[in-house]
Structure 1
Amino acid sequence: MANPFSTIPSAPGAVPVLGHAPRLVRDPLGFLESLPALGDLVRVRLGPMRAVVVCGVELTDVVLRDDHVFDKGGPFGDRVREFAGDGLSSCPHHLHRRQRRLVQPAFHASRLPDYARVMAREAAAAAESWGDGEVLDVLPRLVAITSRIVAATMFSDTLSKAGLDQVLADTTVLLTGMYRRMMTPPILDNVPTPGNRAYRKATVRLRRSLHQIVVERRRSGVGDGSDNGDLLSALLAAQDPQTRGRSTDVELTDQLITFFIAGAETAASTLAWALHVLATDAEVQARVRAEAAGILGTRVAAGHDTTTGRLITETMRRWPPVWMFTRTTTMATELGGHEIPADTAVIISPHLVHHRPDRYPDPHRFDLDRWTSAPTPRSPYLPFGGGPRKCVATTFALTEIGIVLAAITTRWHIEAVPGTEVKAGPAATLRPRGLRLRLTAHPSTTDLPSQRQAENPTHPEPESV
């Protein structure tokens, strides 16, 4: 017989009314890393909400594999749904399989070469616009690159520069406010604070902007067999092989928001951390640069047989962009020998799993040699989630990150700026705060092969946004 929920060990440090929310705001990573010492399951309170943090690797796998019992929801999932609706990453189980079937064709391997050409073009243009000796505020520059890549691969030339800037500004407001709202009781959502007003305004405007793109593209006849080579064309054309139905305009809007935020924000965070590593290790930077021409030539995701591939893998272990997310139990169940009531928030943390010393010795040390082969069950790896809800765009993201790294390191040597301190800033994603890097031009970056390929592609490319 399973033990009662009350016998699960409780995390120390809860305060009246707010529970453990203050600890998750002040030092969330340290708090999460402290929990495995208490057990494979640990109870926490977020205000009045009961929740359990899954610390055991095997139990984490159980939760991720059974998305019928452990459905999308809880404080993270519910907040994402506020602006992304029932997109692929946030929809409940009963909608997910149909959504996945409709979205899968947009990420088919046959479409990736066209997306990769856009990635190479946008990354090269951005890298070329930087100046020798310039000191970069890194994260905003990378968000600008990845957002342009995502916009161009999603809707070709549909979104103007002003429109893209507004979409990017709105997503920044939402991602900044989402973690704060996770730790705030829902009863306070309608209090007219500046943060709540900005969040609601950004939600409405972002949904309206992307919905209008869907409506105009459908009105133009795209989806009747024509193909612009972008994600939206594939989504409009997709039919569910089981029901023969297509996505509605609202569903497409949800997907565009989901993919824009995931493709721009999480890729930029990973790239920023990777550049932080390269700026502090000249030898690794030289090895990555030596591989850049090959990556820009093939435009495929770097494998574990390359320094670039291992750099990306270890970066996403050490600083997983989505460092915590939640599920909710749809029924009473058993987990780890304990009863878990229905409507319990279940917290999964890739950061926690990636920093278990029994799975990753000396977990805070950045070590490329961990990845001479692909991850195994012994080395659990969750930057893209797991189970049936694993990210559908994993190959897209890894290709994008590798191409952008190659475009930057081909042209620039990067160095840390003395006197700056880089810290992890947990919000909706795990961002590096205070990251500033100095650029020095490599002497052999005039008329690069990668630039010639981008300027004279084998196949016609979508117009720049």
Structure 2
Amino acid sequence: MLALDSAPLRSARAPGSWPLAGHLFRFGRDPLRFLGSLPAHGDLVEIRLAVQDVHVLCHPDLARRALADGRTFDRTGPVYDRIRADMGNGLATCAHTDHRRQRLLMQPAFRRDRLSHYAAVMQEEIAALADRWRPGQVIDVVEAMFALTTSIAVRTLFSSRVDESTAAGLRHCLDVFPRGSYTRVLLPFTTALPTPANRRFARALAQWRIYVGRVVADGRRRQSGPQDLLSSLLDARDDEQSGMNEQELADQIAVLVLAGAETTSAALAWSWHLLGAHPPAEEELLAEADAVLGGAVATWQDLPRLEHTDRVVREAATQCIGESFALTEASLALASLASRWRLRPVPGAVVRPAARSVLCPRTLPMRVVGRH
């Protein structure tokens, strides 16, 4: 049972429920404002989304306990059932009974000695992005960072196993998933409606499974191949020396790529936004980029000297099995882009958070200013 150590637990039901719909319209119209209003009513607040009762943890101690205790607060129930139906039973979505085996299978793919190889791929994609920008150009940082992290995710996972057409198809699928997953998870009864968003999500999911199935099958056929994330997953063994079957591989790949691309891009977008609003922190970042990189793209060997960059990234990032991968990627991107470009907020632009699979800015228009 949930309880607070410091004070009695305040539980309540949110006011404003409508017949049949409950709080569905308020939640659907502005989910972040609605959720932000709930702590005023209690520490544990019940809301109703049509036929579904949901309890929202509104006290940080309760949220921390639920997130940290995976055995008691297992990934079960309609929300995680919906996630697994769409994205598979991967490490980030599996129940507690599956977690230990999956963690053992996945851990070797994120060893430190693998990161230097992944970093080389990150460098190439970051350099390509830096070369595409032009002085005075206004970009949507959210879109730019997501395009960067999806390209890195696809290349580090599949290396040279996919042609450019397949890689573009995978990136397109990745662009569709975060936009539709939030609604599908919290409002599962809407997924059967023939809306354009649902049809788009279903097409992307079917295409994703076809692409991944082909690449996994090709990896099985080859006796040797590039040292990418897929090769680590194909070689992985659990305590009983059993590897992953095709479905397990597909599930892990889906969760790995989607979680890695979305969370890292959100961290980078928030980092640029916060730096633009705090000139002293931005100046320190730029000075460090100049001193360490001098206009070049950051390498794996540069990371120990990018101390302020690391602090900026950690201020905005998520912790998980891929933490080292994400921190490496974000630090290389932030320092490398800052060594050549300054991103300035567009006057009058209002930055609002968007409810997606992770919290990120809805849009973040910034102007590119050359530094050298």
Hey, what's the Cα distance between the residues in 2 that align with 1:31 and 1:396? 34
**Alignment CA distance shift 1:149-1:245 (3 Å):** same
User: Does 2:331 match 1:407?
Assistant: no
Unpaired stretches in structure 1, ≥5 consecutive residues: 317-382, 385-390, 444-465
Hey, what's the Cα distance between the residues in 2 that align with 1:66 and 1:183? 22
Return the TM-score normalized by structure 2: 0.89
Say whether the 8 Å CA contact 1:302–1:402 is kept in structure 2. Answer: no
Number of residue pairs the alignment of both structures matches: 361
Unpaired stretches in structure 2, ≥5 consecutive residues: 4-9
Aligned to 1:115: 118
Hey, what's the Cα distance between the residues in 2 that align with 1:401 and 1:421? 24
**Alignment CA distance shift 1:439-1:193 (3 Å):** closer
**Alignment CA distance shift 1:46-1:136 (3 Å):** same
Say whether the 8 Å CA contact 1:139–1:435 is kept in structure 2. Answer: yes
Aligned to 1:309: 310
If asked which structure has higher relative contact order (CA below 8 Å, sep 6+), I would say: 1
**Alignment CA distance shift 1:283-1:236 (3 Å):** same
Aligned to 2:369: 440
Q: Which runs of structure 2 are paired with 1:212-231 in the superposition (5 Å)? A: 212-222=214-224, 228-231=226-229
Say whether the 8 Å CA contact 1:123–1:145 is kept in structure 2. Answer: yes
User: Does 2:230 match 1:198?
Assistant: no
Aligned partner of 2:210 among 191, 208, 211: 208
Aligned to 2:353: 424
CA RMSD of aligned residues (A): 2.5
Say whether the 8 Å CA contact 1:414–1:439 is kept in structure 2. Answer: yes
**Alignment CA distance shift 1:297-1:213 (3 Å):** closer
Say whether the 8 Å CA contact 1:302–1:308 is kept in structure 2. Answer: no
Say whether the 8 Å CA contact 1:10–1:43 is kept in structure 2. Answer: yes
Aligned to 2:7: none
Hey, what's the Cα distance between the residues in 2 that align with 1:166 and 1:298? 29
Hey, what's the Cα distance between the residues in 1 that align with 2:195 and 2:51? 22
- Secondary structure of residue in 2 paired with 1:440: strand
CA displacement at 1:302 relative to structure 2: 7.2
Hey, what's the Cα distance between the residues in 1 that align with 2:365 and 2:68? 40
Aligned to 2:6: none
Return the TM-score normalized by structure 1: 0.72
Q: Which amino acid aligns with 1:197?
A: R
Q: Which has the higher helix share?
A: 2
Hey, what's the Cα distance between the residues in 1 that align with 2:70 and 2:315? 27
- Secondary structure of residue in 1 paired with 2:99: helix
Aligned partner of 2:242 among 241, 245, 248: 245
Hey, what's the Cα distance between the residues in 2 that align with 1:158 and 1:2? 48
**Alignment CA distance shift 1:100-1:290 (3 Å):** same
Say whether the 8 Å CA contact 1:299–1:403 is kept in structure 2. Answer: no
Q: Deviations over 1:415-436 (max 9, x none)?
A: 1122322211112222312311
Report which stretch shifted further, 54-63 or 292-301: 292-301
Hey, what's the Cα distance between the residues in 2 that align with 1:221 and 1:146? 29
Hey, what's the Cα distance between the residues in 1 that align with 2:78 and 2:356? 13
Aligned to 1:51: 54
User: Does 2:259 match 1:268?
Assistant: no
Aligned to 1:77: 80
Report which stretch shifted further, 135-144 or 102-111: 135-144
Q: How many percent of aligned residue pairs carry the same amino acid?
A: 37
Hey, what's the Cα distance between the residues in 2 that align with 1:48 and 1:42? 17
Q: Could you list the structure 1 runs, at least 4 aligned residues long, displaced by more than 6 angstroms after superposition.
A: 300-303
- Secondary structure of residue in 2 paired with 1:244: coil
CA displacement at 1:172 relative to structure 2: 2.3
User: Does 2:103 match 1:100?
Assistant: yes
Hey, what's the Cα distance between the residues in 1 that align with 2:35 and 2:196? 30
